[in-house]
Chains A and B, each alone.
Chain A
């Protein structure tokens, strides 16, 4: 456990250094992939609302942390939220495989073979730690169907940090305006993307903290949930 965690800590260098963790992230989001198309679509719809409501995202992070540290939080104990927001939260938690009782007490059911609540907790906790603008930019990337391409970037980056344009899987980086969205999102995650001739240089910045890892946890989660389109 310790050595794996150490290897996953992002450090300054080419974006390709993140690819070691990609397999683990994909495996962690298997519960998303294995949901029925209808379930995925419902989760996706409400997730879209959460991406643009930061109070909801923060509250969700708190509730899930409570549940996973052995508590049974009650949604009525979140005075900052409106009744409508609590209702949306309850809907999301229900779709995430948690029990939401009539009195809005949240509890965890016995764990099944596929641990959907754990995957949701993993995903939401990463999202909640991102800078303010990131979830909305992430939402744009989803709407523009850029997420699978962005997930592929660490594998496509050379050991010296270059992404060769012209590869069909990197078409999103060739459109100037799409590139601007991606550049801004990655900059918020301490990853620099810069055009360099016929390539893009993708480098993790100095002292990146956990942000590059969080970005890729979220992108992998979104990618797993988006597979209903395939």
Chain B
């Protein structure tokens, strides 16, 4: 439910952009600036890459006494209010019975979503770049060893995040299946986000999630390219891919699939 709300938010505010939706409330706590994030390379050509938080920051994997102290910039991001139209309308007669395609049977269902006023927090990149010169990553840290074991992962750091400034309520409205003529009609879920102002809770929903402020709902990362000796660089351009030097970025990834579907694998297209 939280994942769907954050995904919808980015679809409206950052389509095709670099922000990544937070998919779990638990991850929201882990999303500190300079947190380590692992990017998993996609398997099929159409997939978006998946990201996983590590419970550590870059300071935990630098060689001794080399901490980075980022300057954090804060700014208003957007006041988000979205209006959605749900589902096709009407009913259909079938050979087996009648199917109603939305809860009411007629009309369009509209819902509004609002995370309220959102704030953007980001690391001052110029300062970060200056400060990270000559810093080294300890490749022998147990955490990195585990990342290195999996060949299809890239290390990233979190450099920006979008946080809520007000308490919000995420509720799920199930458009109930209708049983007609022995058949089950359409059942879908709508997710609605609303800023909680007067403590009222929506009654017509099955699940309600109240999220406190500040909760991270989206974030941006920078990929790292880590050399064999522990030196690293940030991949500032889209064309520049992160990874570990000992692993050739173009080398084979240990993917296992049936030979029939080979042309659709990500590496074939990339």
Contact = CB atoms under 8 A, between A and B. Distances in A.
Interface of A: 1-2, 4-6, 8-9, 24, 27-28, 30, 52-55, 58, 62, 65, 68-71, 79-80, 108, 111, 115, 118-119, 121-122, 125-126, 129, 132-133, 136-137, 139-140, 143-145, 175, 177-178, 180-181, 184, 209-210, 213-214
Contacts of B7: 132
A204 to B, nearest CB: 15
B248 interface: no
Contact of B257 (A53, A121, A184, A209): A121
25 contacts: A2-B268, A4-B268, A24-B263, A30-B260, A52-B188, A54-B4, A54-B189, A55-B3, A62-B50, A65-B47, A69-B40, A69-B152, A70-B255, A79-B26, A80-B24, A115-B258, A115-B260, A119-B261, A122-B44, A125-B43, A133-B188, A139-B186, A144-B92, A177-B90, A177-B91
Given A62-B50, A65-B50, A70-B254, 9 more contacts: A5-B269, A8-B264, A69-B43, A69-B152, A132-B8, A140-B99, A143-B94, A143-B99, A177-B92
A210 B46 contact: yes
B156 interface: no
Q: Max chain A CB contacts within 10 Å: which of B45, B48, B101, B260?
A: B260
A143 B90 CA distance: 16
B217 interface: no
B197 to A, nearest CB: 27
B269 A69 contact: no
Given A80-B24, A129-B48, A136-B186, A118 B263 contact: no
B11 to A, nearest CB: 8
A144 B44 CA distance: 30
Contacts of B92: 144, 175, 177-178, 181
Nearest to A182: B88
Contact of A213 (B1, B46, B88, B90): B46
A140 B185 CA distance: 7
Contacts of A121: 43, 257
Contact of B47 (A30, A115, A129): A129
A136 B1 CA distance: 16
B15 to A, nearest CB: 11
Contacts of B254: 69-70
A5 B268 contact: yes
A125 B44 contact: yes
B87 interface: yes
Secondary structure of the A contact surface, majority rule:
helix
Contacts of A8: 263-264
B43 A68 contact: yes
Nearest to A176: B90
Interface string B175-199: 0000000011111110000000000
A108 B86 CA distance: 39
A143 B50 CA distance: 32
Given A62-B50, A136-B188, A210-B46, A118 B260 contact: yes
B122 to A, nearest CB: 28
B262 interface: yes
Contact of A5 (B1, B45, B50): B45
B260 A28 contact: yes
A67 to B, nearest CB: 9
Interface string B31-74: 00000000010011111101000000000000000000000000
A24 B261 CA distance: 8
B187 A52 contact: yes
Contacts of A119: 258, 261
A65 B90 CA distance: 38
Contact of A133 (B50, B87, B255, B264): B87
Contacts of A55: 1, 3
A29 to B, nearest CB: 9
B258 A111 contact: yes
Nearest to A184: B88
B194 to A, nearest CB: 18
| Complex A-B, nearest 6 residue pairs according to Cβ-Cβ distance, in ascending order | A118-B258, A115-B258, A210-B46, A4-B263, A5-B268, A136-B188
A180 B90 contact: yes
A80 B15 CA distance: 25
Given A68-B43, A129-B46, A129-B47, A140 B3 contact: no
A72 B257 CA distance: 15
B75 to A, nearest CB: 30
A68 B253 CA distance: 11
A39 to B, nearest CB: 18
